[in-house]
Amino acid sequence: MPTPGGNAATASTVGSLVLTGGSSGIGAGLASDLAGEWDITVVDRDLPETPAPGVTYLQGDITTDDAVDTVRKSLTENGRATIDGIVHCAGIGAFGPFMEMPKSEWERVLLVNLHGTLNFVQGVADMVADGGRIVLFSSGTVFKAPASAAAYAASKAGVIGFARSLAAELGARNITVNVIAPGLVLTPLSTAIAAGEEANISTRAIKRPATVEDFIGPTRFFLSPGSSFVTGQTLVVDGGSIRR
Protein backbone atom coordinates (compact mmCIF):
# COMPACT_ATOMS: atom_id res chain seq x y z
CA MET A 1 0.00 0.00 0.00
CA PRO A 2 1.26 3.52 -0.74
CA THR A 3 1.97 6.09 1.91
CA PRO A 4 -1.07 8.39 1.70
CA GLY A 5 -0.35 11.98 2.59
CA GLY A 6 3.22 11.85 1.33
CA ASN A 7 4.57 13.38 -1.85
CA ALA A 8 4.89 10.54 -4.33
CA ALA A 9 7.91 10.91 -6.57
CA THR A 10 6.65 8.80 -9.45
CA ALA A 11 3.33 7.61 -10.77
CA SER A 12 4.17 4.06 -9.70
CA THR A 13 4.15 5.08 -6.04
CA VAL A 14 0.78 6.84 -6.23
CA GLY A 15 -2.04 4.79 -4.75
CA SER A 16 -5.24 4.20 -6.66
CA LEU A 17 -8.50 5.37 -5.09
CA VAL A 18 -12.10 5.01 -6.27
CA LEU A 19 -14.38 7.78 -4.99
CA THR A 20 -18.15 7.75 -5.42
CA GLY A 21 -20.17 10.95 -5.33
CA GLY A 22 -17.07 12.98 -6.06
CA SER A 23 -18.70 15.61 -8.26
CA SER A 24 -20.18 17.75 -5.50
CA GLY A 25 -20.25 18.35 -1.77
CA ILE A 26 -17.88 16.42 0.47
CA GLY A 27 -16.86 14.09 -2.34
CA ALA A 28 -15.77 16.97 -4.55
CA GLY A 29 -13.73 18.42 -1.69
CA LEU A 30 -12.00 15.08 -1.18
CA ALA A 31 -11.28 14.67 -4.88
CA SER A 32 -9.61 18.08 -5.06
CA ASP A 33 -7.62 17.60 -1.86
CA LEU A 34 -6.37 14.08 -2.55
CA ALA A 35 -5.59 14.55 -6.24
CA GLY A 36 -1.86 14.22 -6.90
CA GLU A 37 -1.30 12.04 -3.85
CA TRP A 38 -3.69 9.43 -5.20
CA ASP A 39 -4.69 8.30 -8.67
CA ILE A 40 -8.39 9.08 -8.24
CA THR A 41 -11.28 7.69 -10.23
CA VAL A 42 -14.60 9.38 -9.46
CA VAL A 43 -17.93 7.84 -10.36
CA ASP A 44 -21.09 9.93 -10.02
CA ARG A 45 -24.48 10.33 -11.65
CA ASP A 46 -23.50 13.82 -12.79
CA LEU A 47 -20.16 15.13 -13.95
CA PRO A 48 -18.80 18.26 -12.23
CA GLU A 49 -18.90 21.69 -13.81
CA THR A 50 -15.33 22.27 -12.64
CA PRO A 51 -13.36 18.99 -12.62
CA ALA A 52 -10.40 18.67 -10.28
CA PRO A 53 -7.13 18.50 -12.24
CA GLY A 54 -5.73 15.00 -12.61
CA VAL A 55 -8.94 13.22 -11.56
CA THR A 56 -10.68 10.71 -13.84
CA TYR A 57 -14.47 11.25 -13.88
CA LEU A 58 -16.91 8.56 -14.91
CA GLN A 59 -20.68 8.85 -15.15
CA GLY A 60 -22.65 6.09 -13.50
CA ASP A 61 -25.40 5.16 -11.06
CA ILE A 62 -24.08 3.19 -8.09
CA THR A 63 -27.36 1.29 -7.79
CA THR A 64 -26.69 -0.44 -11.12
CA ASP A 65 -24.08 -2.86 -12.37
CA ASP A 66 -23.35 -0.36 -15.13
CA ALA A 67 -21.42 1.91 -12.76
CA VAL A 68 -19.40 -1.04 -11.45
CA ASP A 69 -18.59 -2.20 -14.97
CA THR A 70 -17.62 1.32 -16.05
CA VAL A 71 -15.21 1.71 -13.13
CA ARG A 72 -13.63 -1.72 -13.58
CA LYS A 73 -13.19 -1.17 -17.31
CA SER A 74 -11.58 2.25 -16.80
CA LEU A 75 -9.17 0.94 -14.17
CA THR A 76 -8.17 -1.99 -16.38
CA GLU A 77 -7.62 0.25 -19.39
CA ASN A 78 -5.35 2.41 -17.22
CA GLY A 79 -3.29 -0.57 -16.10
CA ARG A 80 -4.82 -0.89 -12.63
CA ALA A 81 -5.41 -4.54 -11.74
CA THR A 82 -5.85 -3.55 -8.10
CA ILE A 83 -6.74 -0.42 -6.16
CA ASP A 84 -5.67 0.77 -2.73
CA GLY A 85 -8.91 2.21 -1.47
CA ILE A 86 -12.58 3.04 -1.87
CA VAL A 87 -14.22 6.17 -0.46
CA HIS A 88 -17.98 5.97 -0.82
CA CYS A 89 -19.72 9.36 -0.50
CA ALA A 90 -22.60 8.96 -2.93
CA GLY A 91 -26.05 9.33 -1.45
CA ILE A 92 -29.31 11.23 -1.50
CA GLY A 93 -31.51 12.86 1.13
CA ALA A 94 -35.27 12.85 1.62
CA PHE A 95 -36.91 14.48 4.61
CA GLY A 96 -40.43 14.97 5.86
CA PRO A 97 -42.97 13.20 8.08
CA PHE A 98 -42.59 9.48 7.45
CA MET A 99 -46.29 8.73 7.73
CA GLU A 100 -46.90 11.14 4.85
CA MET A 101 -43.94 10.07 2.72
CA PRO A 102 -44.84 8.21 -0.47
CA LYS A 103 -43.55 4.66 -0.50
CA SER A 104 -41.70 5.34 -3.73
CA GLU A 105 -39.71 8.12 -2.04
CA TRP A 106 -38.45 6.11 0.94
CA GLU A 107 -37.75 3.15 -1.32
CA ARG A 108 -35.57 5.43 -3.46
CA VAL A 109 -33.64 6.58 -0.36
CA LEU A 110 -32.98 2.99 0.65
CA LEU A 111 -32.12 2.02 -2.91
CA VAL A 112 -29.43 4.68 -3.28
CA ASN A 113 -28.04 5.03 0.23
CA LEU A 114 -28.07 1.40 1.35
CA HIS A 115 -28.54 -0.88 -1.63
CA GLY A 116 -26.30 1.36 -3.73
CA THR A 117 -23.58 1.00 -1.10
CA LEU A 118 -23.96 -2.78 -1.06
CA ASN A 119 -24.03 -2.99 -4.84
CA PHE A 120 -21.00 -0.81 -5.48
CA VAL A 121 -18.81 -2.20 -2.71
CA GLN A 122 -19.60 -5.78 -3.65
CA GLY A 123 -18.79 -5.00 -7.27
CA VAL A 124 -15.45 -3.29 -6.67
CA ALA A 125 -14.06 -4.40 -3.28
CA ASP A 126 -12.43 -7.53 -4.72
CA MET A 127 -10.02 -5.16 -6.50
CA VAL A 128 -8.81 -3.64 -3.20
CA ALA A 129 -5.29 -4.86 -2.47
CA ASP A 130 -4.36 -6.50 0.82
CA GLY A 131 -3.83 -3.78 3.40
CA GLY A 132 -6.18 -1.45 1.55
CA ARG A 133 -8.79 0.95 2.88
CA ILE A 134 -12.55 1.28 2.54
CA VAL A 135 -14.20 4.42 3.92
CA LEU A 136 -17.98 4.75 3.85
CA PHE A 137 -20.06 7.83 4.65
CA SER A 138 -23.09 7.56 6.92
CA SER A 139 -24.67 10.42 8.90
CA GLY A 140 -24.90 11.77 12.43
CA THR A 141 -28.66 11.60 11.85
CA VAL A 142 -28.41 7.92 12.79
CA PHE A 143 -27.56 8.88 16.37
CA LYS A 144 -29.74 11.97 16.74
CA ALA A 145 -32.75 10.36 15.05
CA PRO A 146 -34.70 13.60 14.57
CA ALA A 147 -38.28 13.66 13.39
CA SER A 148 -38.80 13.84 9.64
CA ALA A 149 -35.62 11.86 8.91
CA ALA A 150 -36.83 8.28 9.42
CA ALA A 151 -36.08 6.91 5.96
CA TYR A 152 -32.76 8.72 5.66
CA ALA A 153 -31.65 7.66 9.16
CA ALA A 154 -32.66 4.06 8.45
CA SER A 155 -30.64 3.98 5.23
CA LYS A 156 -27.55 5.46 6.88
CA ALA A 157 -27.83 3.17 9.92
CA GLY A 158 -27.70 0.28 7.49
CA VAL A 159 -24.38 1.56 6.15
CA ILE A 160 -22.87 1.40 9.65
CA GLY A 161 -24.10 -2.15 10.25
CA PHE A 162 -22.79 -3.21 6.85
CA ALA A 163 -19.37 -1.69 7.51
CA ARG A 164 -18.98 -3.49 10.83
CA SER A 165 -19.74 -6.85 9.27
CA LEU A 166 -17.60 -6.21 6.20
CA ALA A 167 -14.67 -5.25 8.46
CA ALA A 168 -14.85 -8.72 10.01
CA GLU A 169 -14.90 -10.35 6.57
CA LEU A 170 -11.96 -8.41 5.16
CA GLY A 171 -9.79 -8.31 8.28
CA ALA A 172 -7.88 -11.43 7.27
CA ARG A 173 -6.50 -9.41 4.35
CA ASN A 174 -5.68 -6.41 6.56
CA ILE A 175 -8.25 -4.32 4.70
CA THR A 176 -9.86 -1.79 7.01
CA VAL A 177 -13.49 -0.70 6.72
CA ASN A 178 -14.52 2.44 8.58
CA VAL A 179 -17.32 5.00 8.53
CA ILE A 180 -17.50 8.77 8.80
CA ALA A 181 -20.81 10.16 10.07
CA PRO A 182 -21.06 13.90 9.29
CA GLY A 183 -23.26 16.30 11.16
CA LEU A 184 -25.26 18.83 9.20
CA VAL A 185 -23.09 20.47 6.55
CA LEU A 186 -24.60 22.62 3.81
CA THR A 187 -24.11 20.81 0.53
CA PRO A 188 -26.50 20.10 -2.37
CA LEU A 189 -27.62 17.01 -0.42
CA SER A 190 -28.77 18.98 2.61
CA THR A 191 -30.50 21.98 1.06
CA ALA A 192 -33.91 20.70 2.15
CA ILE A 193 -32.95 20.98 5.84
CA ALA A 194 -30.71 24.04 5.67
CA ALA A 195 -33.20 26.01 7.76
CA GLY A 196 -32.24 23.88 10.74
CA GLU A 197 -28.56 24.81 10.68
CA GLU A 198 -28.76 27.49 13.40
CA ALA A 199 -30.47 25.11 15.82
CA ASN A 200 -27.92 22.43 14.95
CA ILE A 201 -25.00 24.74 15.64
CA SER A 202 -26.43 25.55 19.08
CA THR A 203 -26.04 21.87 20.09
CA ARG A 204 -22.35 21.73 19.15
CA ALA A 205 -19.39 22.10 21.46
CA ILE A 206 -17.66 23.96 18.62
CA LYS A 207 -20.28 26.49 17.65
CA ARG A 208 -19.77 27.16 13.99
CA PRO A 209 -21.11 25.82 10.70
CA ALA A 210 -19.50 22.69 9.35
CA THR A 211 -17.54 22.94 6.12
CA VAL A 212 -16.60 20.36 3.51
CA GLU A 213 -12.98 20.75 4.63
CA ASP A 214 -13.88 19.42 8.09
CA PHE A 215 -14.22 15.92 6.63
CA ILE A 216 -10.94 15.80 4.73
CA GLY A 217 -8.69 15.20 7.75
CA PRO A 218 -10.79 12.35 9.16
CA THR A 219 -10.91 10.69 5.73
CA ARG A 220 -7.15 11.07 5.35
CA PHE A 221 -6.69 9.35 8.71
CA PHE A 222 -8.79 6.35 7.69
CA LEU A 223 -6.81 6.13 4.44
CA SER A 224 -3.43 6.46 6.16
CA PRO A 225 -0.96 3.83 7.42
CA GLY A 226 -1.68 5.14 10.92
CA SER A 227 -5.18 3.62 10.79
CA SER A 228 -4.01 0.08 9.97
CA PHE A 229 -5.29 -1.29 13.32
CA VAL A 230 -8.57 0.66 13.24
CA THR A 231 -11.49 -1.06 11.55
CA GLY A 232 -15.24 -1.44 11.92
CA GLN A 233 -15.45 2.00 13.54
CA THR A 234 -17.72 5.00 13.04
CA LEU A 235 -16.33 8.49 13.56
CA VAL A 236 -18.92 11.21 14.10
CA VAL A 237 -17.67 14.54 12.74
CA ASP A 238 -20.12 17.19 13.89
CA GLY A 239 -18.32 19.68 16.14
CA GLY A 240 -19.32 17.79 19.26
CA SER A 241 -23.08 17.87 18.86
CA ILE A 242 -23.03 14.14 19.56
CA ARG A 243 -20.62 13.30 22.38
CA ARG A 244 -20.15 9.65 23.20
CATH number at residue 152: 3.40.50.720
Number of domains the chain is built from? 1
Please tell me which residue in 143, 152, 162, 215 is annotated as part of the active site: 152
Please report whether residue 240 resides in a domain: no
Across the range 55-66, mean pLDDT stands at: 97
Please report whether residue 4 resides in a domain: no
Rounded CA-CA distance 242/244 in Å is 6
Confidence of residue 7 (pLDDT cuts 50, 70, 90): very low
Q: In this predicted structure, what is the pLDDT of residue 188? A: 57
Please report whether residue 181 resides in a domain: yes
Please report whether residue 142 resides in a domain: yes
Beta bridge partners of 15: 38
pLDDT by residue (tens digit) across 142-164? 999 999 999 999 999 999 999 99
Instruction: Check pLDDT > 70 for residue 170.
Output: yes
| Prediction pTM value | 0.91
Q: Taking the CB of residue 206, how many other CB atoms lie within 10 A of it? A: 11
Q: In this predicted structure, what is the pLDDT of residue 67? A: 96
Please report whether residue 128 resides in a domain: yes
Instruction: Check pLDDT > 60 for residue 76.
Output: yes
Please report whether residue 24 resides in a domain: yes
Confidence of residue 5 (pLDDT cuts 50, 70, 90): very low
Q: In this predicted structure, what is the pLDDT of residue 198? A: 85
Give me the count of residues in the chain: 244
Instruction: Check pLDDT > 70 for residue 194.
Output: no
Please report whether residue 217 resides in a domain: yes
Beta bridge partners of 87: 19, 135
Q: In this predicted structure, what is the pLDDT of residue 244? A: 82
Share of the chain above pLDDT 90, in %: 85
Full residue range of the structural domain in which residue 42 is found: 14-235
Question: For the chain, where are the alpha helices, taking DSSP H only?
Answer: 25-34, 65-77, 103-110, 116-124, 141-144, 150-170, 197-202, 216-223
152 is known as an active-site residue: yes
Compare 212 and 190 and report the one with higher pLDDT.
212
Please report whether residue 119 resides in a domain: yes
Q: In this predicted structure, what is the pLDDT of residue 69? A: 97
